[in-house]
Amino acid sequence: MNSRSMQTRPFTGWHMLAVMVAFFGVIITVNLLMATFANTSWTGLVVQNTYVASQQFNERIAEARAQAALGWHGELAISNGEIRYSLADVSGTRVAIDSVTASFRRPAYEAEDWQVTLKRDADGTFSILTPVRDGIWIVSTEAKVADKEPYREASRIVIADGALK
């Protein structure tokens, strides 16, 4: 048997002060960290002015119906660091396009959003050499056709290994 008895140290006011400082220090640190993440992440803002967006809604629906009545369909291809776009009518004949722009947006993170203007190729399609990062994108294309409203499409795509999946 051990002849020395264990002595316990008394819990003093300094110990309680250390416990309180550690407790509130953790709470304050977590709050500051969460506030920093909230200020540097996605804002959740979809439109700048909801009233103006609501006023334009019926106009956009009418444009979409008129566009759907044309029966055109666009084809977007992404591979080997190249973006290609073409537009065809109901019979499959290529529609003569003046210019094409493509906007790439992340679904919930606007810092990586970008837009590119495609160049006309000899065969009437439009393309540009630019790599697209892997992941999920919302691609909005706008093809300007002479004497008509621009043909607009938007689709959610997945890029894996630099190609459209």
Q: What is the pLDDT of residues 99-142, one digit of tens each?
A: 999 999 998 878 899 999 999 999 989 999 999 999 999 999 99
Instruction: State how far the Cα of 83 lies from the Cα of 51, in Å rounded to an integer.
Output: 35
- For residue 67, give Cα distances in angstroms to 48, 77, 89, 105, 154: 26, 21, 11, 23, 13
Beta bridge pairs of residue 138: 105, 156
The pLDDT of residue 2: 56
Domain residue spans of the chain: 72-164
The pLDDT of residue 150: 92
Fold of 72-164: Immunoglobulin-like (2.60.40)
Beta strands, E only, 89-150? 99-106, 109-120, 126-129, 135-144
Q: What is the pLDDT of residues 1-53, one digit of tens each?
A: 555 667 888 999 999 999 999 999 999 999 999 999 988 887 777 788 888 88
- String of b and e for 52-77 (b: at least 16 CB within 10 Å)? eeeeeeeeeeeeeeebeeeebebebe
The pLDDT of residue 110: 80
The pLDDT of residue 32: 97
Q: Which of 114, 115, 118 is nearest to 128 (CA)?
A: 118
The pLDDT of residue 73: 93
